[in-house]
Amino acid sequence: MAQPNPLTTPPPGADTQIVPGHVEHTEAHSGAFPPFETSGFLSQLIWLALAFGLLYYLMDKVALPRIQAILHARAERLRADLDQAQAMKTEADAAGIAYETALRDAQGKARDIAQTTRNELAAEAETKRKALEAELNAKLSSAEATIRTRTEAAMGNVRSIAGEAASAIVERLTGQAPDPATLNRALDATAH
C-alpha cells in the first residue's frame, strides 16, 4: 500500500515548497500507509492481547460481579422498602378500622347504659308510685269504713232517739207509755 501522498509528495518541479525536514520524515517511513504497515502487526497484536486480556480479567473477576451485586442489592433494598411501606400501610389501615370499631362499640355501650339506666329509673318510679297508690287506697278504704261505722252508729242512735221521742209523745197524748214491742213495729214500719 505504498502510495504517494498528494499532500506530502512534491509535485514535479515544486521541491522548493517542501520543508526539507518533513521530506526526510516521510521518507523514514518509506511512504507506507501506517495502518497497513505489516512490520508492526505482531507487536500490536501482542500488546492488544495483553491489554485486552487484562481488561477482560478485570471486568470478569472484579468490575462486573461488583456492579451486578450493587444493582442487585439496590433492587433488593427497594423491594424490601416497598414491602415494608406496604406492611405499614396495611397496619395503619387495620388500626383505623380497629379504632372505628372501638368507637362504634363504645357508642353502642353508652347507648345501652343510658337505656338501662332510664329503664331502671322508670321501673323504680313506677314501683314507688304503685306503693303510694296502694297506701292511699288503704287509707281511703279505712276512712270509708270509719265513715260507714260512724254512720251506722249514728243511724242506730237515731232509732233509739226516735223510739224514745215516739214513746214520750204517745205518753203525753195518751198518758200511757206504749208497749215497746208495738213501738218497735211502728219504728220498723216507718223506717222504710
Partner 1 sequence: MAVTIDPIEQFELKPLVSLGHIGHQQLAFTQSALYMFAAVGVIALITVVATASRSVVPGRMQSLAEIFYEFIADTLHQATGDGGKRFMPLVFSLFMFVLILNLFGMIPYAFAVTSHLIITFGLAALVISVVVIYGVMKHGTHFFGLFVPSGVPKPLLAILVPIEIISFVSRPISLSVRLFANVLAGHIAMKIFAFFVVQLLLAGAWSVLSPLPLFLTIALTALEFLVAALQAYVFATLTAIYLNDALHPGH
**Which residues of the chain form contacts with partner 1 (CB under 8 A)?**
5, 7-8, 16-19, 22, 25-26, 29, 33-49, 51-52, 54-56, 58-60, 62-64, 66-71, 73-74, 77
Quick one: cell of 164?
A: 224514745
- How many whole angstroms separate alpha carbon 144 and alpha carbon 152? 12
Nearer to partner 1, 74 or 111 (CB): 74
Torsional sign, CA 53, 57, 59, 63: negative
CB of 76 to partner 1, least distance (A): 10
CA distance 163 to 11: 192
| Closest distance of CB 55 from partner 1, Å | 5
Q: Which is nearer to partner 1, 13 or 34 (CB)?
A: 34
Task: For partner 1, give the closer residue by CB, 76 or 93.
Answer: 76
Q: Alpha carbon 8 to chain centroid distance?
A: 91
Please state, in angstroms and rounded to a whole number, the distance separating the CA atoms of residues 95 and 97. 5
Measured from the CB atom, the residue of 48 and 136 that comes closer to partner 1 is: 48
